[in-house]
Structure 1
Amino acid sequence: MAPAPHSLAVAAAHDRSWVSVARRSAPHVARVTASAMLVRRELTVNDTQKVTLGVIAAYIVVIALLWNIPYIRYVLWPFKMLVIAFHEFGHALACVLTGGRVKSISLDPNEGGVTHMQGGKNAFTLPAGYLGSSLIGALLTFAGFNIVASKIASIVVGVTFLFTLWWGRKDWLTILTVLLAVGLLIGCWFISHAEALRYVVLFIGVMSSLYSVWDICDDLILRKINSSDASVFAKRYGGSSQCWGVIWSIFSLTFMAASIVAGIAAFPQSAEQQRNDSSQFIPTKF
């Protein structure tokens, strides 16, 4: 039997009241939902990440001191050569990607390096040394927030070194630097499920991220060397070497800051969780 007209009117009024309530409450619900999403996305730092940030700060201070203290600064020499290898790899990779050919890479005992290239686009190959090593450093710093990520990063670095070793196979210092670096990374895999690897990767990342800043300061401000990548770039494309050096340094610092923020956001696991995860990913323990 069809409902009475009066019943239909009451039902319609009831439905309109619900629609009215829903319309009034919709903005409130939207605000609550948006607030909840913002709370969930808020960047918080747990105890493990605080330790990592403290280690990064300590690395920066120690490296800055050792970089400038006579004689003691030679403690950093092996890592400087490692970062220079990253620098030269950046030149080489940019050369290959822009249609050139890499003839050889060589490292100098006096903390220098050179990449012999044929072809390629100088607008890309010249800044690629500093920017490439800074980007590699930022990625390693990011990976240094997590043990499993450090394992993956060490594998990528090992492959990178194989290319560097191929291009620098005629230079004994390049070979020795690469082999020692690979040996250090492999050895750290076997210490407490690679927990030590995380701090080594983090150290290399921090030093590589800041190397361009310190090196540019040494070359263009303190010693004023006219044969740096920045000076050559300035001669070809205008501007001053100091200007380009500052710009590249800003990029380097930006890369590093972004890697730290990304590391905090991506790896909220506690130290115990990281060890458990690492024990399941290519497990090793010494």
Structure 2
Amino acid sequence: MAPPALRPAIATRAWRAAGPHVARASAVATSAVISRRDLTVNDAQRVTLGVIAAYVVAIALLWNLPYIKWILWPFKMLVIAFHEFGHAFACVLTGGRVKSISLDPREGGVTHMQGGRNAITLPAGYLGSSLIGALLTFAGFNINASKIASIVVGVCFLLTLWWGRRDWLTIGTVLAAVGLLVGCWFIAHAEALRFVVLFIGVMSSLYSVWDICDDLILRKVNSSDASVFAQRYGGSSQCWGVIWSIISLGFMVAGIIAGIAAFPQSAAQQREDSQNFIPTKF
């Protein structure tokens, strides 16, 4: 047996010799544990998934039913604002200038732009709104994440309000949306905010899919973004619409999976965390 004074040195040399193998084994074991944890859906997440499923069914039923569909009208206008913001943001990023944004009471919208790259700005409406929807769906798995998301959305709305400052419908829609988000902060320490953010996220994600199908497959509207894109870059409007729809659904699924992986907290833990993060009195 080695003298006591030499034992730490021998142990150190042994650890260094086995280090790479131990490290790899430890990494594999840790990865397996993390994977099992991330794929495990707890009670709070089951509730969230159930709410998402209920939202999908409700929106699908209310989308085109006579008279009843007007229940969704304010939220349709809201996600149209996301759609137009996507066009505007892409225009600015590609060196263009946004002249104005306006929303149409018949559930339409238009962004007047000067410059920018059309190959990016045209699909940015649908893909941008669906990406925003996926991020909101992701945030809807957690109260504090919903608080942060509502702040970011508020900033986006203010930009939309600036670009649409001459359009009263745009102004009214944006202010009503901001008022709804602010009001939900004060309900059960913003627990209500989580479900509102989740609904807006699901609505924005599915709006891209349903609006593309509605315009290009059912109505075949020639003035859609996909139609203009097809005229300029080839292909058919239906083909581009299907591609954008698939991408939009992919964004939504990614948002759900990321939400499950990132927010394993229980409902009670979320409420406790919410009371310590930008707390509200009610």
- The two structures have a TM-score, normalised by structure 2, of 0.90
Question: How many angstroms does 1:169 deviate by?
Answer: 0.4
Of 66, 73, 76 in structure 1, the residue corresponding to residue 72 of structure 2 is 76
Question: How many angstroms does 1:36 deviate by?
Answer: 5.0
Question: How many angstroms does 1:134 deviate by?
Answer: 0.4
Q: Distance in 2 between matches of 1:181 and 1:36?
A: 43
- Per the alignment, residue 144 of structure 1 pairs with 140
Q: Distance in 2 between matches of 1:191 and 1:126?
A: 39
> Could you list the runs of 5+ residues in structure 2 that have no partner in the other structure?
3-9
- Per the alignment, residue 34 of structure 1 pairs with 28
- Per the alignment, residue 260 of structure 1 pairs with 256
- Per the alignment, residue 166 of structure 2 pairs with 170
- State how 1:63-142 maps to structure 2 within 5 Å: 63-142=59-138
Question: How many angstroms does 1:58 deviate by?
Answer: 0.3
- Per the alignment, residue 11 of structure 1 pairs with none
Q: Deviations over 1:224-254 (max 9, x none)?
A: 1111000000000000000000010011000
User: In terms of mean alpha carbon deviation, does 88-97 or 30-39 score higher?
Assistant: 30-39
Q: Distance in 1 between matches of 2:26 and 2:84?
A: 52
Q: Distance in 2 between matches of 1:35 and 1:226?
A: 55
Q: Deviations over 1:8-38 (max 9, x none)?
A: xxxxxxx9xxx9xx98xx9899668624531
Q: Distance in 2 between matches of 1:178 and 1:30?
A: 52
Question: How many angstroms does 1:70 deviate by?
Answer: 1.1
Higher Cα Rg, which structure: 1
Report how many aligned residue pairs link the two structures: 268
Percent sequence identity over aligned pairs? 80
Q: Deviations over 1:264-284 (max 9, x none)?
A: 000000011001111011101
**Alpha carbon RMSD of aligned pairs, Å?**
2.0
Question: How many angstroms does 1:68 deviate by?
Answer: 2.0
Question: How many angstroms does 1:69 deviate by?
Answer: 1.0
Residue 227 of structure 2: SS of its match in structure 1? helix
- Per the alignment, residue 160 of structure 1 pairs with 156
Residue 190 of structure 1: SS of its match in structure 2? coil
- State how 1:175-254 maps to structure 2 within 5 Å: 175-254=171-250
Which amino acid counterpart does residue 39 of structure 1 have in structure 2? V
Q: Write out the 4+ residue segments of structure 1 that deviate beyond 4 Å after TM superposition.
A: 26-33
- Per the alignment, residue 5 of structure 2 pairs with none
Which amino acid counterpart does residue 200 of structure 2 have in structure 1? I
Which amino acid counterpart does residue 254 of structure 1 have in structure 2? G
CA contact under 8 A between 1:194 and 1:285: conserved in structure 2?
Answer: no
Q: Deviations over 1:156-182 (max 9, x none)?
A: 000000000000000000000000000
> Could you list the runs of 5+ residues in structure 1 that have no partner in the other structure?
1-6, 8-14
Q: Deviations over 1:75-116 (max 9, x none)?
A: 000000000000000000000010110000000000000000
Q: Distance in 1 between matches of 2:241 and 2:233?
A: 14
CA contact under 8 A between 1:105 and 1:167: conserved in structure 2?
Answer: yes
- The two structures have a TM-score, normalised by structure 1, of 0.89
Q: Distance in 2 between matches of 1:229 and 1:45?
A: 38
Call closer, same or farther: CA 1:196–1:238 in 2, change over 3 Å: same
Q: Distance in 2 between matches of 1:283 and 1:143?
A: 18
